Each structure stands twice: as C-alpha cells, then as structure tokens.
Amino acid sequence: MSMSKSADAPHKVEKETGIVIPGDDLGEIKDKLAGHGVLEINGRFTAVKKGIHRVKERVVSVEPIYSKYTPRPSDLVIGYIEGCTNNIWFVDIGAPFNAILPMSLGPSKAEFGGARSVIDIGEAILCRVQEVEETHSSVVSMKGMGLRKINSGIVEQLPPHLIGRIIGKGGKFLSDLKSNSECRIVVADNGRIWIDGDLPGISNVRKIILELENKDFGGGN
Amino acid sequence: MGGYGDVQMIDENGKRMDGRGPADLREISIETGVVPVADGSCRMIWGTNEAIVSVYGPMEAHPRKIQRQDSAVLAVEYNMAPFSTTDRMRPGFNRRSKEISKVTKDALESVVLLELYPRSKIQVNIEIISAEAGTRCVGLTAASVALADAGIPMTDLVVSVASGKINDIVVCDLNKEEDNYGEADLPMGILPNTGELVFLQMDGNLSQEEFKQAWDYNMNAASEVHSIMKKALTGGDSQ
Amino acid sequence: MSVPLVPKLLRAHLTELAENNRRLDERGQWDSRNLEIEHSVLPRAEGSAKVRIGDTIVYAGVKFQIMTPYEDRPNQGGLMCSAEVRPLAGRKYEPGPPSAESIELGRVVDRGIRESGCIDVDSLCIIPGEKAWQVILDLFAISDDGNLFDAFAIAGIVALKEATIPAERFEVGKDSKLEVTGTPIMCSYHKVGGRFVYDASFREELGGDERIHITLGDNGNVHSLQKGLKGIFTADEFEEIMGHALERTKQISKIINSL
C-alpha cells in the first residue's frame, strides 16, 4: 500500500523577512558549522527556533526573536534572593532555574546560620555568574568590582534579546539615556536593568524601556 | 461514533452541508502573542473552533519530585471552557480532557528539544474557547505555534488534522455534524518538514482503501495548514 | 497557586512613588488603564463578552440550563456565577483545583451581580414547581496583568445584558431576551505604597497590600463590599474610595449601556 510519506518538500527560508521557524531547511552542511538554534539532521541544517537566519563566516545560526535567559560564565546578572539555607542563598536570575550563591562568595562574612542578616529573602543583588554546570544550574559570586546588594532605585525587565537595543551601537543609546535621565543605569546580561536616581529620571528610563518592548518586531509577548 | 447513515451530509456532486468539497479544509486563522503575560501564545480559529494556548518556561520545575535530571518536563493541559459547547461543560476533572492532554504531550515531546533544559519545566496550557469537532487537532497545532512563539527549540512544528467518513465517502476535516453522524474519525499529527508522525488516533469503521484515502487527505492538508502557521509566526498576514 | 516572590526593592519604590503621587506607569491615583469591551464573541454561549483592561484579558459566557425549582420557591429560577483562573492566564496559577483566591474572585463578582437584583429570578419560571431557567455565568481569564476582579465584573454584566434565553433549543417556547434591570459595576482599589489606587496592575498588586472591592448599582446603591488580603484601612480612606467609585461606576455604566 503506498501512502503519502511526506507532506511537501522541506521548507525554505522566508526570503523577504529572513525569519525562519522550527523545521525550516537551512541548506547543506558542507564545510559549515551549526551555531545557536540550528541542528544537523540528515546532512542538512534545520532551524529549531523562530528567529533570524544568519550565516557568519562558517557558522550557520538562528538568532531567536524571543528567548529566555540562559546563563554563561562571567555574565553580569541581577538576581532576587528566593531562599537560603545556613550557608547558601538561592537566587532567581530569570533562567530556567535558580542560581546558588555560596556564603564564601557573598558580600561579607556571616555566622553560620546568619545568612538572612547579610542578605534577606526578597532582596536584589548585582552579581556575576561564576560557573555553569552541565545541568545548567549556575553558581554566582558577589566578589568583584561593583558587585553588591541593590538598596535603592528599581529593577526593570527587558527580554534578553533586546539588551543590544538598549545599549546601542558602541554603547551610545545607553550613555545618552544615562545623561538625559541623570540616572545610574546598569544593564545586566539577564535582561534586568537597575535604575537609580530621582523619580522623574527613573520614570523616563522606564518609559523608554517600555517603548523598546512595544516596538519589538514579531516578538513573543 | 455510531453512524446515522440516513442523515444526508454530502450530495451526489461531492458537496458537503457547509459547501465544502471532500478534500477541503475549514477556514483557519492564527494569531500569536495573544496572552501578553505569557512567554509565548497562539490563538487559532478553525471553522468555529477557537483555541488559545499559552506557554510558560523553561522554568524551575516544582514540585521537586517532577524534575527530571536529564531533560525538561513538558507539562501539557488541555481543557474545554464551560461555554465552549452547546450544552455547558462543567469545570473540573474530565477524563476525556485528561487523555487528550496526555496524547498531546506525547506528540509535543517528540519534537521539543527537552534535553537542552534538564531539571526544568515547560508549561503548555491549551484552552478550547469554542468547540466544533476536531478540538484536539486545533489544540495540538496551536500548541506547536505557541511553543515556537516562546522560543522553545523544536525540530519541527506539528500540524494536526482529522479526516473521516460520511455517507460512505471519505472527507477531510470533519465539522460538528459530520463528526456526530459520520462513520469514522482519523486525527493525525504530522511534521510538515518530513511527513513523519507524532500523533495518531482513530475510531469508527474504515476499509483499507478508505483508510489510505483519509490518511492521504490529512497528509495533503498539512502543507496548507503549515503555510498559515508560518505566516503567523514570521509576521506575514495570516489569512 | 504558587506565591510569587515580592521583591523588597519593588515595595520601597512603590512607597516612594506613592509619596510623590506617582505610579509605575505614570497613571494618576484614580486613573484606569485602557478599557476595551466586546460582546457576542463566543459562538456557543447564549450571551458573551470579552474585556481587556491594559494587558488583562477575560471572557464571560452565559449558558442556560433547565432546573427544578426549590420546593420552598416553586416559581423561581437561579443564577450561578463561576470564575476560573487557569494556568493559561499566568505563571502563578497552578494546575489542579481552584485556589482560594480564584474562588474568592468568583464569589465576590457573583455577589455584586446577584445582590443588585438585576436578574429577577421570579421571571425565570417556565412551569411552576417543575421547570425554571438556571442562568450560569462563567468567567474565564485569558491573561492576568492585574485587576481581574473589575474585568470579570464588567464582562459578566455585559454578557448577561446581551443574553438570549434559548427556549427553542429546549423546546419550551420561543427564544427571548434575558431581562436585566440595572447595571451593577464593581470598582477595585489596592493599597500600594501606603495609599489606595484604582485599577492596580500586576506589579502594583505584587508589591501592594490589601484590596477593597465595591459594587454599586444605578443610583449609587451599595450592593456588595469585600476587603481582601492582609492590611488595615481607615474610615477616611474608605470614604475617599467610595467617592471615586460613585463617579467611576456611572462612567462605566454609560459605556456599557451604549454598546
């Protein structure tokens, strides 16, 4: 009995927009390498994410339109303390799971069992990703220049794929934003942004962040 | 299923009660980003079916006991809203919904790259807002669009469509009357890129020949539906 | 329901904003977000509405069933309101039986509509002692970005107002419009940063304290009240929000009755 085996030829890239979706064929492998968002299947590259198809040097990749933050070592991140035990804090860094901040990498020494008096649950911290395990859980550290508990201002959120936009070419957009608003602004790699200054300044920056999100082409949500 | 052979649903010229030919699909439209607070979402209207799907994740899997060390957990729930059917659907536990949730999860797990997010959870919520036969197909199709919208990596989208038999004639994409009074129902979940399958159910009575015909109808419909899904995801207009 | 973490920074910032008469999204203390109302949106319901307030989106559907009247009230039908906030609408909603919060939500909206008497259960009789109509209002959340209460309440009354009794489908007569007299409207206030604001967004709810819901009828008659969550308020504060509710319910009632 012969029945249809394939619905259609493998689907090509949407030429006009350059946006590909999961399952789209991205050509023969030949001498190229699979980058982010691309899998090698049966000798050909297949997109596995919705995003912009890019070929840079020998790397074929898909830059996702919308993605969650996945931590990498040395990333600067803003985290919220979700819980703690005697000598570690559990930190929500907006990744698929919480990071761990061991007491030894914390801001200062505390007695065993005294974690909450140093940083309490619900507080925000500026820290760096120290290492990422193969199961994707990470360890963060507050030992380093500028790393600290955040005690003033507010933290806003942008989807990580828009970070480049708020920084701008050569950092121009961000430095203009800082001087116009007279605020201290720290853009972390996990899409969180710490803004500190007077209320009108903070409100201005917040408005700009919202505009960036709304202008996001074909974004998730 | 029970065939009521004396309800005439298709005439000598192959015209069905709603004017469609045997191989024709109902009208489909797709929108993404319809649940602003979710990571990804999709609203799919198929005939007078309406499904809204939202996706959250990957996120930490709670409770701890559902975590898997080597891959993400795909938590899929299919549910029908109380006002989705002519006779009100009582909210709460429903065996049919539980089964559909499970087979939909089985289908989606076959394409989502779960091993990239060990110990985490991806939540897929399928809500049927209005029902008109084929809700499990609409739900599965819309869920794959919502997952893509959320940036979850998948090897392909899933197109799900059901064909069946009415008055001894095999037709594609059953509507409500055809599903109620017809003689068979064959829903499938197809990967449009390769023609492979991730979802298959059947009930009724089909000869080997009729089965082949219904199978082919579903396969051929897949590329039509896929192009609508692609337009919705890439920002082109969805018809 | 999983309780989301409340960031301390958010609470401190909301307090500073409140002290300076500001809100996160630059709204005034008593300003609402953008309100959109659609009706006749559900093909299988006998009456329906979709309401969007900011990024909060809900559906309301009216369905009718035949019930046997209670022995002590042989000429009366019934009204039942049920609210569902499922995981679809937000990351904090978990699968499983409805949370206490969702149940409170449904019951508070129910009381507002029921106690206004806008549905006369005496008019729902079909055959005295034998058959009467049960009106079921189902409220369904699509996206929770704060203030589900008001969104549900508005959607509920709009759906009821356009509902048709499906007598023909049940073979008990001819279809007719459901009689709804009056337009009860709910206004919800949340204490954020130390003062009450109208139409709180998700983040304001997250960093805020107690909430108060007021349902008023056409003449400003009070039909239901509810205070929820932890917190203390004064008589003066209540007087202030009642004053706002008197104005705002009139505005919304006008919008609904001109749909």
- Residue B87: give the domain boundaries: 28-232
Cα four-point dihedral sign C252, C254, C255, C257: positive
CA end-to-end span of chain B: 32
- pLDDT given for residue A109 in this prediction: 67
Strands B73-80 and B120-130: parallel
Tokens matching residue B108 = 């989606």
Q: State whether residue C26 sits within 8 Å of chain A by CB.
A: yes
Q: Which residue of A has its CA nearest to C4?
A: A82
Q: State whether residue A83 sits within 8 Å of chain B by CB.
A: no
- pLDDT given for residue C94 in this prediction: 87
Q: Name the interface residues of A facing C (CB cutoff 8 Å).
A: 80, 82, 92, 120-124, 150, 152-155, 199, 202-203, 206-207
List the single residue in C55, C82, C86 with the smallest CB-CB distance to B127. C86
Whether residue B190 contacts residue B18, with contact meaning beta carbons closer than 8 Å, is answered with no
Residue among B88, B147, B94 nearest B122 (CA): B147
In a domain, C99, yes or no: yes
In a domain, C1, yes or no: no
**Domain count within chain C:** 1
pLDDT digits (tens, 9 = 90+) for B109-168: 999 999 999 889 999 999 999 999 999 999 999 999 999 999 999 999 999 999 999 999
Cα distance between residue C25 and residue A212, in whole Å: 15
In a domain, B124, yes or no: yes
- Residue C108: give the domain boundaries: 7-257
**Closest approach of chain C CAs to the CA of B168, in angstroms?**
29
| Cα separation values, C246 from C153, C192, C221, C222, C242, Å | 16, 21, 9, 10, 6
More confident residue, C153 or A96: C153
Amino acid at site A31: D
Whether residue B149 contacts residue A50, with contact meaning beta carbons closer than 8 Å, is answered with yes
- pLDDT given for residue A16 in this prediction: 45
Q: State whether residue A7 sits within 8 Å of chain B by CB.
A: yes
pLDDT digits (tens, 9 = 90+) for C82-97: 999 999 999 999 888 8
Q: State whether residue C13 sits within 8 Å of chain A by CB.
A: yes
Element (H, E) at A20: strand A19-20
In a domain, B121, yes or no: yes
Whether residue B233 contacts residue A50, with contact meaning beta carbons closer than 8 Å, is answered with yes
Whether residue A132 contacts residue A97, with contact meaning beta carbons closer than 8 Å, is answered with no
pLDDT digits (tens, 9 = 90+) for A119-138: 899 999 999 999 998 766 79
List the single residue in B149, B151, B220 with the smallest CB-CB distance to A4. B220
Q: A188 CB contacts (<8 Å, ≥6 apart)? A: A75, A76, A77, A78, A126, A194
In this prediction, residue A186 has a pLDDT band, given cuts at 50, 70 and 90, of: very high
Kindly give the parts of chain C with pLDDT less than 50. Answer: none
Packing angle of the helix pair B208-234, B135-149 (nearest 10 deg):
30
Domain CATH code at residue C16:
3.30.230.70
Domain CATH code at residue B207:
3.30.230.70
In this prediction, residue A91 has a pLDDT band, given cuts at 50, 70 and 90, of: very high
Residue among B157, B161, B154 nearest B138 (CA): B161
Q: What is the DSSP string of B58-121?
A: EEE-SSGGG--SSS-EEEEEEEE-GGGSSSPPPSS--HHHHHHHHHHHHHHHTTB-GGGSTTEE
Q: A145 CB contacts (<8 Å, ≥6 apart)? A: none
Whether residue A174 contacts residue A167, with contact meaning beta carbons closer than 8 Å, is answered with yes
C144 contact residues in B (CB cutoff 8 A):
37
Kindly give the parts of chain B with pLDDT less than 50. Answer: 1-3, 237-239
A213 contact residues in C (CB cutoff 8 A):
none
In a domain, C74, yes or no: yes
- Bond prior to B192 in cis (omega within 30° of 0): no
**Domain count within chain B:** 1
Q: Which residue of A has its CA nearest to C26?
A: A203
In a domain, B20, yes or no: no
* Chains sharing 3 or more CB pairs under 8 A with chain B: A, C
Q: Which residue of A has its CA nearest to C19?
A: A199
pLDDT digits (tens, 9 = 90+) for C91-130: 999 888 888 888 999 999 999 999 999 999 999 999 999 9
Q: What is the DSSP string of B132-165?
A: SS-HHHHHHHHHHHHHHHTT--BSS--EEEEEEE
Q: What is the CATH number of domain A76-150?
A: 2.40.50.140
Residue among B112, B217, B103 nearest B157 (CA): B112
| Cα separation values, B108 from A7, A172, B128, B142, B202, Å | 18, 43, 18, 11, 19
- Sequence spans of domains, chain A: 2-64, 76-150, 154-216
Amino acid at site B125: N
Whether residue A70 contacts residue B152, with contact meaning beta carbons closer than 8 Å, is answered with no
* Domain formed by A154-216, architecture: 2-Layer Sandwich (3.30)
Q: What is the CATH number of domain A2-64?
A: 2.40.50.100
In a domain, B82, yes or no: yes
User: pTM of the prediction?
Assistant: 0.93
Give me the total of CB pairs closer than 8 Å, taking one residue from chain B and one from chain C. Answer: 92
